[in-house]
Structure 1
Amino acid sequence: MDIQHRHIEVFRAVMTAGSVTGAAALLHTSQPTLSRDLARLEQLLGYALFERERGRLKATARARALFDEVERSFQGLARVIERAQALGRDEDAELSVLSLPALSHALLPAALATLLGEHPGARIDITPAEPPLLDAWMSEQRFDLGLAEQATPLPGVRVEPLLEADEVAVLPAGHPLAAHARLALADFNGQDFISLATDDPYRREIDARFAAAGVARRLRVQTHSAVAVCELVRAGLGLAIVNPLTAHACANEGLVVRPLAVSIPYRVSALIPLHRPAQPLVAALVSALRCARPQAWRQSA
């Protein structure tokens, strides 16, 4: 059977228009040409699709059943075409992001506002995780993009620096040291101090700096969460040193942020899987993340 696509188009046009004349107008062709194509389709099928009554066409039951199937096929094709065009415009794109909780709280919101303003049809799935789970999932190529601090090389992952800034001090509003424009390590001597957990790399570096300076703090509370550190400081339980992203995101009534007289660099990196199908929106989000940093921060080279 040699039924061609144009035969189905002719049949659909006749069913839609209700006449050969109307179908010829829809297809921008002549009535005799269309009549020949329709007759050829009936010949190939081996049964009549229309009854001819006084020059008019009346669809048979077989024609109506065939038309239902043709319409379902054309509607499906239209959806395929619409989806293909949308993918070209990055519409309905889905982007999966694996992020440290602190970064999903303090860095991602502003960047996503920019991204979704440019790609309103995009959908973002954010999963918070801490190392070593974050490192393992990125190595397994489970996510389109990862966000981490001081990222170390991972198998199957490209590490791309995003930004660098200095750690900052956070103090309860009204604390005497809040009057200082900048805090030296010696200012923390004898002060109640809220720390990150002992396995946090920034906790280890901060402790080493104080030890080298001979400054003794009263370590009262520790936690894995930088957001929790800020809230504990706000409650008046002590001072702390945290990353500037979280500090500035949490700074409002009851909490003040001050720079340190020493530089303790804080770095954020993008983790891009090398063996996962490329997602076009990754580059757009990375760009938005870089632009989301405060202007005073210096970008990593």
Structure 2
Amino acid sequence: MPMTHRQIDVFRALMQAGGVSAAAQALNSSQPTLSRELARMEQQLGYALFERTGGRLRATAAAHSLFEVVQQHYQGLAAVQSRALALAQAEAQPLQVLAQPALAHALVPAVLKRFALEHPEAHVDLTPAEGMSLVEAMAAQRFDVALTEQVQPPPGCESEPLSETAELAVLPAHHPLAQRARLSLTDFGGQPFISLADDDPYRRQIDAAFAAAGVARVLRLQTHSAVAVCALVAAGLGLSIVNPFTARACAGPELVARPLDWTLPFRLTLLRPLQRPRHRLAAPFEAALRATLQEPPQAPRQRRRT
């Protein structure tokens, strides 16, 4: 008949304490109870585990051999408990989301709104980053998912292309060109133009397109942020071209977004770390992301009449 869990606990306490009294105290039991349990255990096994000498117990060779296995059992239980605790702590950790600032402002809020419907108690930590900061953070495996326009994944990451949409023109709602349904490169000739930073890849592509078309713009303002570009446009300081997520998010009474008659694609990419344990909320977040991207773009808000 196999030993019960209680008998294993009693045996281990007796081996470690070296006596019934100390073992009973360790197990919060009584000496008579442990003595009866030991006698019953030896009867079931068919051999003695201890020799009784002067009121003390002396473990037999069989007991020492059995104790090695019992210790392995408890070490295994300790490993299970440690792992369970580590997993519980990991489950409680927020989903770490990294996104380019434009996407953190214009796309992720809609994704999290949908995500929260299914996971209202979820904790999410959203960090905006771009350029080398984003690459280094993902290469260091510090985030669970990342959203970027970069196509090539950083070291230690995999990438999944999500969408490819065209950049949009943004202009003040009161500008004469706002009456047009679509703009061409020549429409920007002689107009104040708000540029992205010199090192921005989209800035370089936009400048190359205007140069190839022989269109000269008035270039006095530039910024690193597409959101800041839209704020400057809404203030009436010029026209610009930005990614479609930011253009639609910022469209309103003071700013309108218009398609262009030439295409500058904006590619959205999902990054996953390969060495970081997969967070249980990563897949639901990605599902909410895909569902949000499949929604038709909302029409820009109309300018209020005064």
| TM-score (norm. length: structure 1) | 0.70
State the partner residue of 2:226: 226
Bigger shift: 274-283 or 203-212?
274-283
The one-character-per-residue Cα deviations of 1:76-98 (angstroms, maximum 9, x if unpaired) are xxxx8xx89x97xx974621011
Residue pairs, 1:50-61, within 5 angstroms: none
The one-character-per-residue Cα deviations of 1:51-101 (angstroms, maximum 9, x if unpaired) are xxxxxxxxxxxxxxxxxxxxxxxxxxxxx8xx89x97xx974621011111
Q: CA deviation at 1:191?
A: 0.5
Q: CA deviation at 1:40?
A: 2.6
The amino acid across from 2:166 in the alignment is D
The amino acid across from 1:162 in the alignment is L
State the partner residue of 1:40: 33
Identity %: 54
Residue pairs, 1:13-162, within 5 angstroms: 40-41=33-34, 92=92, 94-162=94-162
| TM-score (norm. length: structure 2) | 0.68
Q: CA deviation at 1:43?
A: 5.8
SS at match of 2:253: coil
> Closer, same or farther in 2 for the Cα pair 1:5/1:293, shift >3 Å?
same
The amino acid across from 1:151 in the alignment is V
State the partner residue of 1:208: 208
SS at match of 2:110: helix
CA distance in 2, matches of 1:259, 1:294: 19
How many pairs are equivalent? Answer: 232
Q: CA deviation at 1:291?
A: 1.7
Structure 2 portions without partners, runs of 5+: 10-29, 39-80, 298-306
State the partner residue of 1:167: 167
CA distance in 2, matches of 1:220, 1:147: 31
The amino acid across from 1:274 in the alignment is L
CA distance in 1, matches of 2:295, 2:123: 28
> Closer, same or farther in 2 for the Cα pair 1:39/1:195, shift >3 Å?
same
Q: CA deviation at 1:222?
A: 0.2
Structure 1 portions without partners, runs of 5+: 9-36, 46-79
State the partner residue of 1:283: 283
SS at match of 1:182: coil
SS at match of 1:293: helix
What RMSD, in angstroms, separates the aligned Cα atoms of the two structures?
3.0
Q: CA deviation at 1:131?
A: 1.1
SS at match of 2:131: coil
CA distance in 1, matches of 2:209, 2:270: 27
Q: CA deviation at 1:248?
A: 0.8
State the partner residue of 1:261: 261
